[in-house]
Amino acid sequence: MTEGTYSFKLKNTLAELNTLCRNLEKYGNSIGLTHKCIFQLNLALDELFTNIVSYAYKDDNTHWITISLSHTDNTLVVSIEDSGAPFDPVSIEIPKPNTTIEDCNIGGLGLLLVRKMVDDIVYKRHRGKNIITMKKNLPQS
């Protein structure tokens, strides 16, 4: 694989999930990602995007969420940027694996899924924006 970047903006509506998936597949296929890798990234992005749309904005105005994808031979980097309310998904306590459904608190299971699908996730708040950066190690070819 060669180096490359791809960015796109989505409105803060769940109807944009199809566009998110199509753009991820387009980029993934163009750089030769496996179907499994694209599926895992789609699960992670779907969860984070849905959380942003559902909780980040208190008004009914249109807001833009930027998705950026880049890679080297070894690593895929995915960044999600929004101007919604501050929220650090990395700081959320994840339920312990042996906890029963009945004993789980509401929330956190989707973020557990995100963490299982990527190799690293970092959050920062910069200039009024949430920036979530995920890294996925790519198989050596």
Q: Which comes out higher in pLDDT, residue 138 or 96?
A: 138
d(CA 50, CA 71): 24
d(CA 68, CA 27): 10
- Quick check: 2 pLDDT over 70? no
Per-residue pLDDT tens over the stretch 18-62: 999 999 999 999 999 999 999 999 999 999 999 999 999 999 999
Q: CATH number for the domain including 112? A: 3.30.565.10
d(CA 29, CA 25): 6
Per the structure, the count of domains in the chain is: 1
**Range in 30-34, 85-89, 106-110 the model is least confident about:** 106-110
Averaged pLDDT of the chain: 88
Provide the domain limits for residue 22. 4-137
From residue 124, alpha-carbon distances to 60, 78, 96, 116, 127 in Å are: 25, 14, 25, 20, 10
- Quick check: 94 pLDDT over 90? no
Torsion of CA 15, 16, 17, 20, to 10 degrees: 170
